[in-house]
Amino acid sequence: MREIPSHTDYDRYRTGSMAPKAYVSPTGKRYDPNRKKRSALRTTRNMAGGLLVAAFTVVTVVMLFFILMASKSDAAPVILGHRAYIVRSGSMSPSINVGSLILVRNVKPEAIAVNDIITYMREGGSSATTHRVVGIENDGGLKFITKGDANIINDPVPVESSALLGKVVLSVPYLGYVIGFAGTKLGTMLVLVIPGVIIMIRQIALLVEYSRKREHAH
């Protein structure tokens, strides 16, 4: 810590005409002009670390939920009343790309309008299809004319209202890839290990910072 020999130098430090450094005033008071800046940086760093841990925790919980649901049933997992599907074809590109995760809300067939994106079961099909509604027929029963955004022509067979699974309300790009990988043995192991490592590193960093503060205090 530097001792200021005169009031003249002290005034120059106060007015900023000299480079800001930690010093002791003529009255013996310790002054560090960069202290607030360092404190703000530490606060920002701690907040960012906390948000990162929270984000990893949420993603981990979601992926574990999907893994658990997939192991129990072939049906789509349900999140807050919405079915979740992983898009595995590019027929809806660029609106919904391969590897996206979509959330489908159960709605009445009468609530579907042209331009809505719906998920339905094809007649005789074993997996769900997600296409855009380009027309509605109501002759002898409600039916939807559908088409993939990437396709040139409409789907050959209209969708019966009884085959409707719901309306797409959310699409998250690439999340389906992550969840699909998490369902593998290696993916499940990483889902469990990575968040734990991050939390451990953060705790070590906090302990190191606490030790440094104690050393400076003494």
Q: Hey, where are the domains in the chain?
A: 1-33, 36-74+185-218, 76-182
Q: Report how far apart the first and last C-alpha atoms of the chain are (Å, whole number).
A: 14
Q: What is the pTM of this model?
A: 0.59
Which residues are the active-site residues? 89
Mind spelling out the 3-state secondary structure of 50-111?
HHHHHHHHHHHHHHHHHHHHHHHCCCCCEECCEEEEECCCCCCCCCCCCCCEEEEECCCHHH
CATH number belonging to domain 76-182: 2.10.109.10
**Residues 64/190, Cβ–Cβ less than 8 Å:** no
**Residues 18/6, Cβ–Cβ less than 8 Å:** no
Residuewise pLDDT in 10s, the chain (218 residues): 444 444 454 455 455 544 455 555 555 555 555 555 656 666 676 676 667 667 766 766 666 666 555 545 556 777 778 888 889 999 999 999 999 989 999 999 999 999 999 999 987 777 899 999 999 999 888 999 999 999 999 999 999 999 999 999 999 898 888 777 776 777 767 767 777 777 777 778 777 776 776 666 55
Q: How many C-beta atoms lie closer than 10 Å to residue 79's C-beta?
A: 14
